[in-house]
Structure 1
Amino acid sequence: MTILAAIDIGGTKCAVSLGAVEQDRVVILEKIKFPTPNNPKVAMNDIAAVLEKVMSRHPEQTPAALGISCGGPLNSQAGLILSPPNLPGWDQIDVVTPFRARFGIPVGLQNDANACALAEWRFGAGKGCRNMIFLTFGTGMGAGLILNGQLYSGTNDMAGEVGHVRLAAEGPVGYGKEGSFEGFCSGGGIAKLAQMMTIKAIQEGKAPSFCKHMNDLVGLSAESVGKAAQEGDPLARQIYNLVGRRLGQGLAMLVDVLNPERIVIGSIYGRQQELLEPIVMNTLREEALPWSLNVCEIVPAGLGEQVGDYAGLSVAMDVV
């Protein structure tokens, strides 16, 4: 059994965890969440203090390594966070050296999509695969790539930025690009798509059940529209039909280019699988090469909503 420590640095919250790993099984011994301080120096000190607190509660469980998961862009080799959009002020911040010096253990850093890909590959729906893709499909859309039995991060840690790919000339903006994969297939993108389609419906006198007035537009979310779609609202179903088609198009591109044996999709796909899966699979059958599609499974994240809890631990395991 190996004891590992993990840090998840997010735009709104951080989490520090201690876990015990044995082969393909992991048990989280303790986890503490807290708001992310605006100042990176303050944040680093607070994270270290919380990690010391967690370790002091388990004095017999000394971690063999520490894994850090954070939104990109970043330089995993140098241990630098490079101005992620959700972490203003975190420019050229070394998050590896201070922890390595303070705790005297190996430290690894990966972007959150790569870290979640490692987690699903080791402990979740990707177990046993040599070629697996993990898609975040949460606040944003990014991919972690496991190719030939190892994480592929590209020349400068920018591999897997599928959210930036344009799927249509027009559509909601995501990742700074109109009609992008992230624009159609992310929490924020679905909310924008719902606003666009709902405004038109209200103007035509066909207000949907989930938004009767223009004043309600600000409250639209992927969750609220998904709930309405599950209850049969025609516009909500139309929105998720479009999301499903765009998701299928994006997956077809990945199937054709990378020929994976499994694509694991997180967050929203698992919550809305009943709505999305039939549309996604129909689109894939229309768009992807059949020889490639026949050997590829499309599945929700095996770790479900807890995939982030195991992400940093998987980075630490990769270091070990």
Structure 2
Amino acid sequence: MKTNLLGIDIGGTKCAIIYGIQQGEHLTLVDKKKFQTTCVDETIGNILAGLEEMMTLHGLTPLNTKAIGISCGGPLDSSEGIILSPPNLPGWNAIPIVSLIEKRVRIRAKLQNDANACALAEWKFGAGKGTKNMVFLTFGTGLGAGLILNGSLYSGTNDNAGELGHIRMVDFGPVGYGKKGSLEGLASGGGIAQLARMYLLEKFQQGEKVSWCTLEELNEVTAQKVAEEAIKGDPLAQKVYETSAIYLGKGLAVLIDLLNPEMIVIGGIYSRNKSMMESVIQQVIREEALSDSSKVCTVKPALLGENIGDYAALSIAFA
């Protein structure tokens, strides 16, 4: 039996409307409409119009469409369907997105934060398929976790479970998630860029030159640029990624000791740079985590790749 699903992926720079078809345990992406995230009213208007366009194009109705899944960065209230002032969405203050959508298209909708949505996607259709206890880490611009425990999504008392990036790893260090020395400050796209700038500035102040960056270019350094140079064999860039991997490993060891998962799936930067980080992470886990727990936990890169946001939104509808 085929089931029609719709998804909405709300991001700080872009939004997307996704149409997919579920057949058993398989999910097929059929169509996608993307547009820029602008001011609140305009973006909501584009979301509603985009949904109607997608439904008209594919003959979707409230009778033949199961649900609409909405993936958005937190904080939010998933039970009430309200977006609560996410830092990457200025002006989105107490937006009742679920009721706005349900009133407009008459299809039931569900809101979930993006890390939880990605966890559902990788659990149902990706690397974590078949597991009972799985953790998904976003590891992109920031760092967050989605928790699948005892075969279901665990989001906490008020949707704040899994905020691994907020844990302070060192007293002083790169800032992430509003906290200096946090795991997000050390193991995320923004954190890697900050680490690189620290190492680069140290070189510059010692009068040394770096082939791939000048003092004037220091503030333009990105995690992607550092990865490119590390892959080419630059020792300083490799040291940056090694440092990030060490702290990520420490964070994973905490998860392993606390939750005893059978799998940790990591997306984003880790998926693209596994070869530079995996051995370091595994060494730290061996040193830090309980052996009885670590030996039953596998760390894998996300399987859904660049389409994970599409699968994530549809997975909310699927669930």
The aligned length equals 316
Residues 82-129 of structure 1, C-alpha deviations (whole Å, 9 max, x = no match) = 000000111111000011111111100000000000000000001001
* Aligned-partner Cα distance in 2 for 1:253–1:215: 39
Match of 1:32 in 2: 33
Answer yes or no: is the 8 Å Cα contact 1:262–1:296 preserved in 2: yes
After alignment, is 234-243 or 22-31 more displaced?
A: 22-31
Match of 2:157 in 1: 155
* Aligned-partner Cα distance in 2 for 1:225–1:184: 14
Shift of 1:60: 5.7
Answer yes or no: is the 8 Å Cα contact 1:210–1:225 preserved in 2: no
Answer yes or no: is the 8 Å Cα contact 1:8–1:16 preserved in 2: yes
Shift of 1:134: 0.2
Shift of 1:208: 2.6
* Aligned-partner Cα distance in 1 for 2:24–2:209: 53
* Partner secondary structure for residue 19 of structure 2: strand
- 1:135 corresponds, among 137, 152, 156, to 137
* Aligned-partner Cα distance in 1 for 2:75–2:261: 25
2:176 is aligned with 1:174: yes
* Partner secondary structure for residue 95 of structure 2: strand
Task: Give TM-score, length-normalised by structure 1.
Answer: 0.97
* Partner secondary structure for residue 65 of structure 1: strand
* Partner secondary structure for residue 192 of structure 1: helix
Residues 4-35 of structure 1, C-alpha deviations (whole Å, 9 max, x = no match) = 00001111110001000112211111101100
Match of 1:248 in 2: 249
* Aligned-partner Cα distance in 2 for 1:210–1:289: 41
Identity value in percent: 53
Match of 1:48 in 2: 48
Paired AA for residue 22 in structure 1: Q
After alignment, is 140-149 or 215-224 more displaced?
A: 215-224
Residues 269-298 of structure 1, C-alpha deviations (whole Å, 9 max, x = no match) = 011100000100011100000000000000
* Aligned-partner Cα distance in 1 for 2:65–2:141: 31
Runs of 4 or more consecutive aligned structure 1 residues displaced over 6 Å after TM superposition: none
Match of 1:218 in 2: 219
Paired AA for residue 296 in structure 1: C
* Partner secondary structure for residue 196 of structure 1: helix
Match of 1:58 in 2: 58
Residues 126-185 of structure 1, C-alpha deviations (whole Å, 9 max, x = no match) = 100110000000011000000000000000000001110011112110001111110011
* Aligned-partner Cα distance in 1 for 2:306–2:210: 29
* Partner secondary structure for residue 96 of structure 1: helix
Paired AA for residue 121 in structure 1: W
* Aligned-partner Cα distance in 2 for 1:220–1:8: 28
* Aligned-partner Cα distance in 2 for 1:218–1:60: 48
Match of 1:295 in 2: 296
User: Where do residues 108-123 of structure 1 align in structure 2 (5 Å cutoff)?
Assistant: 108-123=110-125
- What is the root-mean-square deviation of aligned Cα atoms in Å? 1.0
Paired AA for residue 190 in structure 1: I
- 2:201 corresponds, among 199, 202, 205, to 199
Match of 1:19 in 2: 20
User: Where do residues 57-136 of structure 1 align in structure 2 (5 Å cutoff)?
Assistant: 57-59=57-59, 62-136=64-138
Match of 2:185 in 1: 183
* Aligned-partner Cα distance in 1 for 2:101–2:71: 14
